[in-house]
Amino acid sequence: MRNEPTETCTPVEISDDDIYEAMREMSGYLDITPGDFKEVYVRAFQHAVRRLTRAMRVSTIMTTDVTSVTRETPIRVVAELMAERKISGVPVVDEDEHVVGVISNRDFLAALGGYRSGTLMKIVADCLKGSGCLAVEVRDQRAEDLMTSPPVTAAPDTPIVDVANIMAQRGINRIPIVYPNGKLVGIVSRADIVNSSLIG
């Protein structure tokens, strides 16, 4: 997120007259101008928004029923699993449930297209040119051959805004949520953040 939400958020519009009237209602002399008070109010409002926004932790919106695969899972099985569950990425875990990488649609595209920025249309174009289905060449690979590693992860108590910032900066669509010991506990996607009341 390039703009902090608190910077773009306009507080309830309070007029100089509102402040003047409020000051009049309070007995005794207040040695502050309505203009200074307004500045205090606007800044305090931004702090409140920031505090409330940061109070929303990623653990409240993450999916805990995570589909994961192991290093040794054949990519055919990974693809079937992602198709079946209609998900665009899965974490790869070791025998202790520690997240060691992530496989997403993009990793498949890169593998099939032969380079990292592989796009679906590049693959379609190559197929149509008659060079055969590229997928056949990588048929025997395993999850660890395709996965992006090391994975970008976050702790359950990370503020949602921070997770959103990480996604934007790293250009990724999902982040596995792990306990401090590295064990997988959930996953959060861009859609989860969009659906959360944070940005609604």
Q: Does 24 bind other proteins (CB under 8 A)?
A: yes
Q: Does 27 bind other proteins (CB under 8 A)?
A: yes
- Residue among 160, 150, 144, 152 at smallest CA distance from 194: 160
Torsion of CA 66, 71, 73, 74, to 10 degrees: 130
Contact 137, 177 (CB under 8 A): no
174 phi/psi in degrees, rounded to 5: -150, 150
38 or 190: CB nearest other proteins: 38
Contact 84, 90 (CB under 8 A): no
- Nearest approach, Cβ of 25 to other proteins (angstroms)? 9
Q: Does 23 bind other proteins (CB under 8 A)?
A: yes
**Residue in the structure block whose two tokens are 């959930």:** 186
Q: Does 140 bind other proteins (CB under 8 A)?
A: no
Give bridge partners of residue 168 from the DSSP assignment: none
Applying CB under 8 A, the span of 23-31, 89-97, 106-114, 172-180 interacting with other proteins comes to: 23-31
Mapped to the 3 state alphabet, what secondary structure does 123-166 carry?
Answer: HHHHHHHHHCCHHHHHCCCEHHHHCECCCCCECCCCEHHHHHHH
2 or 24: CB nearest other proteins: 24
Q: Does 29 bind other proteins (CB under 8 A)?
A: yes
Task: Pick from 11, 15, 33, 85 the residue near other proteins by CB under 8 A.
Answer: 33
- Nearest approach, Cβ of 37 to other proteins (angstroms)? 9
Applying CB under 8 A, the span of 2-10, 20-28, 57-65, 181-189 interacting with other proteins comes to: 20-28
35 or 150: CB nearest other proteins: 35
- Nearest approach, Cβ of 45 to other proteins (angstroms)? 18
Cα(14)–Cα(138) distance, integer angstroms: 63
Q: Does 13 bind other proteins (CB under 8 A)?
A: no
Q: Which residues bind other proteins (CB under 8 A)?
A: 16, 20, 23-24, 27-36
